[in-house]
Amino acid sequence: MQNFESIIKNIKNSSYLIDKEFLVWPENAFIGDKNIELIEKWNLKSYIKERKNFFSDDSVKREYEEIHKKFNEEAISSYHVIISNLEEIYENCKRNKKIYYQDIMPTVKKVIEFYKKQKKIFIKYFRIPKLSANYHIIHSVNTAILTVALGNEMGLNNYKTVELCSIALLHKIGFLFIPTKISEKKEALTDEELEIIKKYPIISYKIASTSNLSRSICLTLLTHKENLDGTGYPKGLTSENISIESNIIGAASAYSAIILDKAYKKSFNSGASIIELIQDADKKFDKRVLKLIINAISSCPLDFIVELNDNSIAKIVDIDDSNPNLPYINHIIKNGKVVDKNEQHSVQSIPNTNTGIKKILNQNEIELIKNKYSLINII
């Protein structure tokens, strides 16, 4: 019998060790003393054979894709259920002009459960097909999911997370009572129409305050559009009079609006949306809240378009849970040429190497690349 060390030494790349039936031993796998004892006990005969198709990359990939597809379908279904539930809540409110805490709790629970299951990839569900739901419903659901993520970053207790999630789900409720010809207008609003839009937080507050919602929820619904520099609405409050809860909802809502497709404006990539959010954010949002958003989004940057150290352009496609600072990327542009999708292979981004990330691209840079290389879509 050829000794074990010799067998290991002669194993070719992607080979199998096969006994009377077969024993598969992945290349570079850790082999401990117990493994060696078992192999000697089995009287392993040296037979090195190149990889066969029954364990080919294609078959493993297909199996992974089937599992991933099922996982995606379940998550998408859960997301659509949340949207459907919130539609019902809004419709009831439109009829009754009231909203009750117990009516929104099941949906709040679903949002929190959704985030916990999709913690590493929740942002990607902001971009899935949305059925025919109203924009403000979808926007509110996305804001609620992001708010739960921010609560997680802050280490909030369950009560506060539930409260913030509730506010996020309801923060556009006042739009129900704005004429649709204004609230759903695709063109630029007139000054008069803009003044009508600015009344929606007051409407939300009045509905909430005549229901059984807490004073904290009511006040946050009223003030979430206020800016630190006093340029917000409806009261033009400045930083010292704006609660952290209002700032959290306001910033989460602003980010969700940037990333979400509208009939009149294409959505931004999630990475570009961060850049867009912080352009003049110091005038609007508490820096602590912005940092929370950056941390939350950066923990699941699955569609960030990035420039690498070798000037290649790549898309982040996966995250290493054990080391989130070393994401996996697919090259889109390499050596000045478009990489065919069939030839794209995930590689880990390592700092101080060619695959290290130099910067996240903003939306203008993404559009320039799309136009230069005639790419229909890279996000």
Domain with CATH 1.10.3210.10 in the chain: 59-298
Higher per-residue pLDDT: 43 or 191: 191
Query: In this model, does residue 8 exceed pLDDT 70?
Result: no
Asked whether the whole model's pTM tops 0.75, one would answer no
Tell me the HSE value of 319 on the side-chain side, using a 13 A CA sphere.
18
Measured CA to CA, the distance from residue 56 to residue 50 in angstroms comes to 11
The predicted model gives 204-214 an average pLDDT of 94
* Residue 321 or 148, more confident: 148
Q: What mean pLDDT do residues 85-99 have?
A: 95
pLDDT band at 122; cut points 50, 70, 90: confident
The beta-carbon contacts of 77-80 under 8 Å, at least 24 apart in sequence, are: 78/110, 78/113, 78/114, 78/117, 79/114, 79/125, 79/128, 79/141, 80/131
Grade residue 53 by pLDDT with cuts at 50, 70 and 90. very low
In this predicted structure, the answer to whether residue 139 has a pLDDT above a threshold of 90 is: yes
pLDDT at residue 344 in the model: 85
Q: Output 47 or 72, whichever has higher pLDDT.
A: 72
Does position 177 have pLDDT exceeding 60, yes or no?
yes
Tens of pLDDT, residue by residue over 229-283, are: 999 999 999 999 999 999 999 999 998 988 875 544 555 666 666 777 777 677 8
pLDDT in tens, 292-346: 888 888 776 667 888 899 999 988 888 776 676 788 888 899 998 999 888 888 8
Return d(Cα 163, Cα 173) in angstroms, integer.
Answer: 16
Query: For residue 314, what is the enclosing H or E element?
Result: strand 313-318
Answer left, alpha or beta for residue 51, where phi above 0 means left and psi between -120 and 50 means alpha: beta
**Token representation of residue 180:** 């649709």
Tracing tokens 């609006």 back to the chain, one arrives at 257
| Per-residue pLDDT, 36 | 55
Looking at residue 283, what DSSP letter applies? G
Gap between the Cα atoms of 100 and 52, Å rounded = 62
pLDDT score recorded for residue 171? 98
Q: Report residue 127's pLDDT band, with 50, 70 and 90 as the boundaries.
A: low
Task: Please say if the pLDDT value at position 88 is more than 90.
Answer: yes
For range 31-38, the mean pLDDT: 52
User: Of 4-13, 193-202, 320-329, where does mean pLDDT reach its minimum?
Assistant: 4-13
End-to-end CA, the chain: 55
CATH fold of 59-298 reads Hypothetical protein af1432 (1.10.3210)
Average pLDDT over residues 52-72: 47
Q: Cα(164)–Cα(148) distance, rounded to whole angstroms? A: 7
User: In the predicted model, what is the mean pLDDT of the chain?
Assistant: 80
Average pLDDT over residues 25-54: 47
> Do the beta carbons of residue 335 and residue 341 sit within 8 Å?
no
pLDDT value at position 276? 72
Residue 323, phi-psi category: left (phi > 0), alpha (psi -120 to 50), beta (remainder) = beta
